[in-house]
Amino acid sequence: MTNQTSNTAASATTKFGLALFKEEARQNKGKNVLVSPASVAIALAMTMNGARSTTLAAMQSTLGFSENESLETINASMAALLAALTDPSSGVELNVANAIWAEQSMTFKPDFLNRVVAAYQATINNADFGDAGTVDAINAWADEKTKGKIPTIIKSISPDMVMFLLNAIYFKGKWSEAFDKSMTYSRAFNSEEGEVSAMFMNREAELRYVGNKSYQALALPFGASGRVVLYVVLPAEGANIDDFVQNFDGAVFTALKQAYKSEVELSLPRFQVEFDTDLKASLGKLGMSEALSAGADLSGLADASMYISQVKHKTFARFDEDGGEAAAVTAVGVALECVRMVPRIDVDRPFVAALVDETTDTLLFIGKVSTPE
């Protein structure tokens, strides 16, 4: 795979990720928001291998790929990106894992399964979705792949669910140059909810920095290679953070990557963020609604009418004087349309009850219940 191939997937993921971040921020004003564009994009790209027709076109467009790219080229670019991300020479721990849990009573198309195994190195698990142990197994996978940072991703499996496509990303690294802990002290942080106390890390260092009337931004590298970097972007004083996020176009990323180092006096709070959401609403707003509702064409998965019923996403990040740790799990749930529906019997009126010995077919008791006591 060429580096250019991986860049195709990387640029698409960044484009998609910024749009997803804006939509989630719009829906969570006043709250911390943390999404992993890479995790969501990889999980949905795997799922996209089962999409056809206009459902495929909508998913492809939403994920930032051009309409003239085939599934083969998208899979190739994703495979190259996965290989590049997990380069052991990066000086940090960056792990990416993919898996599929499939309802054992369903027959899924070998072509789909072969594609996701080849391009995404996904493990395939056939399981009984009616067994509570399947929920435990999926959560145990998430827990293991995120080093305990995301111990659960699903709480239960609805009767119409037939497949989960999962991605997990885990990162841990030390700053290229650590903060001196003796220089950390408490002072006020002006949150959206008002003034709160926070522990601020402080240092003077040579860092890549850009600034203008709209923002100040700097790059904090991890590890000896400095390949993985934390970008910190601070809106101008008095700016509304919601407006700033909605107008954010990612140009600052390009500027920081190309910036020269300069002397910077930095005061940065330690921070930890955890986020838990279903991305269906945001993905629908971004153009993927067809895949998320009845009428979706996921016929590349199996000969059945199916749709994406949930896109569970959990993230964790923590940064302190030594470095940072971050984790994400995305679970795309695929369900059958109007099949295996659970009948509901609301016994809210007089009824008949019978007690029968089925071995001998003896009617032991029978009665009419007009008023339950």
With a cut of 50, say whether residue 192 has pLDDT above it. yes
The top-level CATH class assigned to 3-173+273-336 is alpha beta
Residues 42 and 312: their CA atoms lie apart, in Å, by 13
Percent of the chain's residues with pLDDT above 70: 89
Identify the residue with better confidence: 30 or 165.
165
Q: Which stretches of the chain are DSSP H helices?
A: 3-27, 37-48, 53-62, 71-85, 110-120, 132-145, 241-246, 251-258, 280-283
Q: Two tokens at 229?
A: 């970097």
Higher pLDDT, 131 or 239: 131
Q: Is the pLDDT of residue 348 over 90?
A: no
Contact between residue 164 and residue 104 where contact means Cβ atoms under 8 Å apart: no
pLDDT at 295: 92
- Taking only the tens place, the pLDDT of each residue in 236-294 is 888 888 888 888 888 888 898 899 999 999 999 998 888 999 999 999 999 999 999 99
Domain ranges of the chain: 3-173+273-336, 181-271
Residue 371 scores a pLDDT above 60: no
More confident residue, 80 or 372: 80
In terms of pLDDT, which residue wins out, 10 or 311?
A: 311
pTM of the model: 0.89
- d(Cα 106, Cα 302) in Å, to the nearest integer? 8
| Span 91-96, average pLDDT | 90
Average pLDDT of every residue of the chain: 88
Which of 42, 56, 131 lies closest to 330 in space, CA to CA? 42
Q: What's residue 341's pLDDT?
A: 43
The domain covering 181-271 belongs, at the CATH homologous superfamily level, to: Alpha-1-antitrypsin, domain 1 (2.30.39.10)
